[in-house]
Amino acid sequence: MATSRLNTTRARTEWLKSFSATLGFDFCGIARAAFLDEDAYRLEAWLNKGFHGKMAYMENHFDKRLDPTLLVPGAQSVVTLMLNYYPEEQQVTDGPKISKYAYGMDYHEVIRQKLNRLFEEMKTVIGDISGRGFVDSAPVLERSWARKSGLGWVGKNGNLINKKAGSFFFIATLITDVAFDYDDPYAKDYCGSCTRCLDACPTDAIVSPAVIDGSKCISYLTIELRDELLPQEFSGKMDNWMFGCDACQDVCPWNRFSTPHSTPEFSPVPAIFNFSSADWEMMTEDIFRNLLRNSPVKRTKWKGIQRNLKFIRSRESGSR
pLDDT of residue 120: 96
Q: How many domains does the chain have?
A: 2
The yes-or-no verdict on residue 217 having pLDDT over 90 is yes
Give the residue, 316 or 271, on which the prediction is more confident: 271
Domain boundary among 132, 148, 176: 176
Domain hosting residue 301, numbered range:
196-254+269-317
DSSP string of the chain, one letter each residue: ---GGG-SHHHHHHHHHHHHHHTT-SEEEEEE----HHHHHHHHHHHHTTTTTT-GGGGS-HHHHH-GGGTSTT--EEEEEEEE---SS---SSS-EE-GGGSSS-HHHHHHHHHHHHHHHHHHHT-S--EEEESSSSS--HHHHHHHTTS-EE-TTSSEEBTTTBS-EEEEEEEES---PPPPP------TT--HHHHH-TT--EEETTEE-GGG-HHIIIII---SS--GGGTT-STTEEE---HHHHT-GGGGG------GGGSPPHHHHH--HHHHHH--HHHHHHHTTTSGGGGGHHHHHHHHHHHHHHHHHT--
Please check whether residues 144 and 228 belong to one and the same domain: no
Give the residue, 6 or 199, on which the prediction is more confident: 199
Q: Which residues are catalytic?
A: 136
Please check whether residues 203 and 152 belong to one and the same domain: no
pLDDT of residue 5: 66
Q: Does the residue 184 lie in any domain?
A: no
pLDDT of residue 3: 44
319 pLDDT tier (thresholds 50, 70, 90): very low
pLDDT of residue 1: 38
Please check whether residues 15 and 131 belong to one and the same domain: yes
Q: What is the pLDDT of residues 18-38, one digit of tens each?
A: 999 999 999 999 999 999 998
Domain boundary among 141, 176, 211: 176
Q: Does the residue 162 lie in any domain?
A: yes
Q: What is the pLDDT of residues 283-299, one digit of tens each?
A: 999 999 999 999 999 99
Q: What is the pLDDT of residues 68-116, one digit of tens each?
A: 999 999 999 999 999 999 999 988 777 899 999 999 999 999 999 999 9
Q: Does the residue 60 lie in any domain?
A: yes
Q: Does the residue 140 lie in any domain?
A: yes
